[in-house]
Structure 1
Amino acid sequence: MELPSNLVPDEANPEWMNKGDNAWQLTTATLVALQCIPGLVILYGGMAKKKFAINSAFMALYAFAIVMICWVGWSFRMSFGDRLVGFWGKPGVAVDEKFLLKQAFLGYFPNATMVFFQFSFAAITPILIGGALLGRMNFRAWMLFVPLWHTFSYTIGAYSIWCPDGWLAKLGIIDFAGGFVIHLSSGVAGYTAAYWVGPRPEKDRENSEPNNILMMLAGAGLLWMGWTGFNGGAPYAASIDSSLAILNTHVCTATSLITWLILDLSVFGKPSVVGAIQGMVTGLVCITPAAGVVQCWAAIIMGVISGSVPWYTMMILQNKLNFLRTIDDPFSVLHTHALTGALGGILTGFFAVPKLCRLFFLVDDWDKYIGLAYGLQNFRSSGGVRQMVVQLVGMSFIVCLNIVMTSLICLFVKMLVPLQLEEEELEVGDKVIHGEDAYDDLRDGDNKERRFGNTRWHNSVYDPDEYPSKMLKSSEMQMV
């Protein structure tokens, strides 16, 4: 029996490649990339004060571009290549067709697909760090910080947890799509960097309303829908486990958002859009390490926890503890990513189902992956306890790694350029930093001249008795 002509192997479609898996993996990589560009660009641009809209969006755009250069230049192979030490791979380029067209270390697709897929994860991580630094970090310092942090922190976490030769991977840690590698690391690194950069001026901290909440919603929507690729691509196949991961992702996120909304209504009496976005983010983060290895009902429980615990720490505890108020964290990455990423990793160790772990890991010793709840149920409590210990060890490693490396990188960058913007840049914002404004201000004389030209209306030569309907009150003019 002959295969259909479109499935017959040829030079461009080797026998080991699955066209469906390859197409799915490229699609999921693009969805994750869209979370960055334009997702977080729009979210940050709308969330920041008006005077920092361009600067905030540009930080995300720059990080996306520079990580791509690092990724193909040396860091992909530091994250997934040959072993240098137990927690780090050897640096090497990923630009030669002999390497890029070979089968990837996992999955039925080429290295080129794997490089692009994993790049999208590597790129979003420093962009999330940027959420803790908006409105005051020197852009030149950011230009140095991103490639250094990516090289000396991200690659260590990725190799240790995701590379089959990594020490935590060998221990049996479960991090389905980056609860530790991406979210815990970005949350801890962002909060640490915020300490070294210093706070915004007090008046900016007191009056930090978003300049465009509708833009925030658009960015948040891209972030949520893009998470289909974030978690759906983690099995490296268009499989049943990928389907479950996607469903769990959206169920947990919706539950978390609704939980946050109910708490806002109950305590503050108003349904907050910004609060709903935060609840969405915490749900996405919490389910990420568990998406394809837990039951759907467990995803609902995780959504309730991710919508309530971070809500309490951000909305209540933040105002009670002085040390939490000291460090300026505009996007609350400590709560939405560090705390929630840790919660997700711990809950993964509790709810992970052995059968689902077998479907995901596809290794001979799959039975070592067992959540504590199932260990207790099946009289394998020692295995469940071991899994929880491994999760806690991995969490501690990522926290310590990012506190130390982020601090060292910030201190190094500080020797070259100031970490914080100068006083005039902090006062004026984008116009001084980039020479550009996000929005035309029609109250400015030059802009009004450009908008209205030399019309008789602009020069107020209409006779109010002859043309009463064409005369504008000064307050109305301001709104045009």
Structure 2
Amino acid sequence: MTTTTTTSPVINMTTVSSELVLDPSDNAWMMVSTAFVLMMTPALAFFYGGLVDRKNILNQLFLSFICMGIVFVQWVLFGFSFAFGPPVSVGFGSFGDSLLRFGQRLDDAYSPNYPLLTYAAYQGTFAIITPALISGAIVGRMKLIPYMIFIAIWTTVCYDPLAHWVWGENGWLKDLGTLDFAGGTVVHISSGVSGLVASLILGRRIDWKPHGSIAHNIPFTVLGTFLLWVGWSGFNAGSANVASGLASLALVNTYAAAAAGLLTWVVIGTIRGQVSVSGACIGPIIGLVSITPACGFVQPGWALVFGIIPTIIIYFLLLYKHHMIFDDALDVAVVHGCGGIIGAFMTGLFSELSNNPGGADGAFYGHPIQLWYQIAGILTAIGFASVCTAGILIPLKYTIGIRLSPEEELRGTDSIVHGEKWILTDKPCHTTTSNGIPANRSQYPPYTIHNN
């Protein structure tokens, strides 16, 4: 993402013609990438939904789903402008492009070959999935309205400034030299750290068991993994911003790291005597998270290393997570936070300027100071996300309250928050009474799922 500045005319939407798109192929690629990244949010919902217990699955799906509404409305109103609008300083964007009132103008800073609207939509999908990731840390114990308020505020005060610092015009971390091709710091470290802070503020679940597994629908998780892997094509390769060789490099690196992460997890599981399907789904996610900051800066051979090393480290962190004092239900802090940190650090080792003129050589290629630039980005994301998350949740905790009561938590968020239940049945979903009101759905027995 280049940072040159240009002044582009605002075009009236009613008079736009196809000639305004300098490269239709680039515009098409970015729109396809936007759809891929948008798909990642429902994919995440399935991934998370399969890992929670039956009484919370609908709520877990909804926590991701509602981000698509809250965040994109915020993005249109002022979020994009705050993250990528004309800078008012090295720290923040402005509100000059609020309501996306720039028609279909082209912009040298972000979208020189296609309308800035396409770029705004693409970046909006990143803004959607980032807070959705946090929901995996708060399974089954947070009230819905405080969660929605948190998402709206967090996107504004945490995600938007971070995106500006790393990717925005005159962003200070970008000017410093921090490399983050597709969101290792902006997306994964920020969401992982925020998930950790949120889980600490909320406290452990009432029925939390350090060695317990709450996964109840592994096929959902497998489906989510498949779709996330596919969606990451747009997430990483789309961050090249053009249909170019750089996009091809990012795509191959993405698949290589995911494949290496999957095989690494399976090999470790085989050595230890058992390969769980739900665990195997985590392997490629670790590889995908770790390669995200580096996919446009390293060669495919190094991408395999990005899949192997972080997966080994995170495997054993998860193996001993029962020693940790916090209840991060779906391991957001470890998988996304630690995965993003390791990936961002390794970017400082293995990046090559010859791969991407917008990058830099890493420590392995004669530029050791790049490691310090990466560490600066890592520490900034950790500190800023921690402060923002605590600064939002603590006031909410002591005003409107953020946690369900013990009784509500034990009953489950599906019935308490949504008035619905997830059941697997061979009968119709519900019947109706004579006045057309649905009868109690719980009268139908669920299938019994045995986990050997």
**Aligned equivalent of 1:313:** 317
Classify 1:253/1:478 alpha carbon distance in 2 versus 1 (closer, same or farther; 3 Å).
closer
Shift of 1:417: 2.1
Higher mean C-alpha displacement, 75-84 vs 387-396: 75-84
Matched, 1:234 2:231: no
Contact 2:50–2:57 (CA<8 Å) still a contact in 1?
Answer: yes
- 2:409 aligns to what? 426
Q: Deviations over 1:398-454 (max 9, x none)?
A: 1000111110100122233221112222111111221111225689xxx89959xxx
C-alpha distance 448-329 of structure 1, shift in aligned 2 (>3 A): closer
Moved more, 256-265 or 200-209: 200-209
Q: Secondary structure of 1:409's match?
A: helix
- Equivalent pair of 2:100/2:117 in contact (CA under 8 Å): no
Q: How many residue pairs were aligned?
A: 420
Give the counterpart letter for 1:431 in structure 2.
S
**C-alpha RMSD over aligned residues:** 2.3
Summarize deviations over 1:219-238 as a string: whole Å, max 9, x none. 11100110000001011000
Q: Compute the displacement of 1:169 (Å).
A: 0.7
Q: 1:392 to 1:96 in 2, by over 3 A?
A: closer
Matched, 1:39 2:43: yes
- Check whether the contact 1:348–1:371 (CA below 8 A) recurs between aligned residues: yes
Q: What runs of 5+ residues in structure 1 fail to find an aligned partner?
A: 1-9, 376-383, 452-475
The CA deviation at 1:134 is: 1.2
Give the letter aligned to residue 437 of structure 1.
K
Asked if residue 285 in structure 1 is aligned to residue 276 in structure 2, the reply is no
Per-residue CA distance 1:277-318 (angstroms, 9 max, x = gap): 1111110000000102101110111111122011111113x2
Q: Does 1:111 align with 2:116?
A: yes
Rounded to whole Å, the distance in 1 between the matches of 2:205 and 2:21 is 54
Paired amino acid for 1:182 = V
Amino acid of the structure 2 residue aligned with 1:391 = Q
SS at match of 1:134: coil
Give me the TM-score of the superposition, normalised by structure 2: 0.88
1:250-329 aligned at under 5 Å gives the runs 250-267=255-272, 269-316=273-320, 318-319=321-322, 322=323, 324=324, 326-329=325-328
Amino acid at match of 1:305: I
SS in 2 for 1:100: coil
Structure 1 length-normalised TM: 0.83
Q: Paired residue for 2:127?
A: 122
- SS of equivalent to 1:154: helix
Please point out which of 412, 420, 444 is paired with 1:436.
420
CA 184–449 in structure 1, closer or farther in 2 if over 3 Å, else same: closer
Unaligned runs of 5+ in 2: 1-14, 433-444
Secondary structure at the counterpart of residue 109 of structure 1? strand
Deviation at 1:93? Answer: 4.9
Structure 2 match to 1:186: 191
Alpha-carbon distance in 2 for matches of 1:449, 1:186: 38
Q: Determine if the alignment matches structure 1 residue 54 to structure 2 residue 54.
A: no
Correspondence for 1:349: 348
CA drift at 1:146: 0.2
Which amino acid is 2:361 matched to? I
Q: Quick one: which amino acid aligns to residue 100 of structure 1?
A: G
Amino acid at match of 1:73: L
Cα distance in 2 between the residues matched to 1:11 and 1:439: 50
Q: Does 1:248 align with 2:253?
A: yes
In the TM superposition, what whole-angstrom CA distance separates every residue of 1:318-374 from its partner, at most 9, and x where no partner exists?
24xx4x2x110111112101111011011111100111121xx2xxxx6xx111111
SS of 1:164's equivalent? coil
TM-aligned CA distance change 1:288 to 1:478, over 3 Å? closer
1:84, CA displacement in angstroms?
2.9
CA distance in 1, matches of 2:95, 2:411: 42
Q: Secondary structure at the match of 2:88?
A: strand
Q: Does the Cα contact within 8 Å between 2:16 and 2:104 map onto a contact in 1? A: no
Residue 388 (structure 1) aligned to one of 371, 390, 394: 371
* Residue 457 of structure 1: aligned partner: none
Closer/same/farther in 2, CA of residues 312 and 207 from structure 1, 3 Å limit:
closer
Identity of aligned residues (%): 32
Shift of 1:140: 1.4
Hey, what does 1:339 align to over in structure 2?
A: 338
Structure with bigger gyration radius: 1
- Amino acid of the structure 2 residue aligned with 1:78: F
The Cα of 1:31 is off from its aligned counterpart by 0.1
SS at match of 2:239: coil
3-state DSSP of counterpart to 1:113: helix
State which drifts further: 431-440 or 387-396.
431-440
Indicate whether 1:78 and 2:69 are aligned.
no
1:87–1:157 CA contact under 8 A, matched in 2: no
| Structure with the larger helix share | 1
1:163-211 C-alpha deviation (Å, 9 max, x unpaired): 1310011111110000000001100011111111111113566644212
Q: 2:311, 2:246 → 1: CA distance?
A: 25
Distance 1:84 1:96 in 2: 17
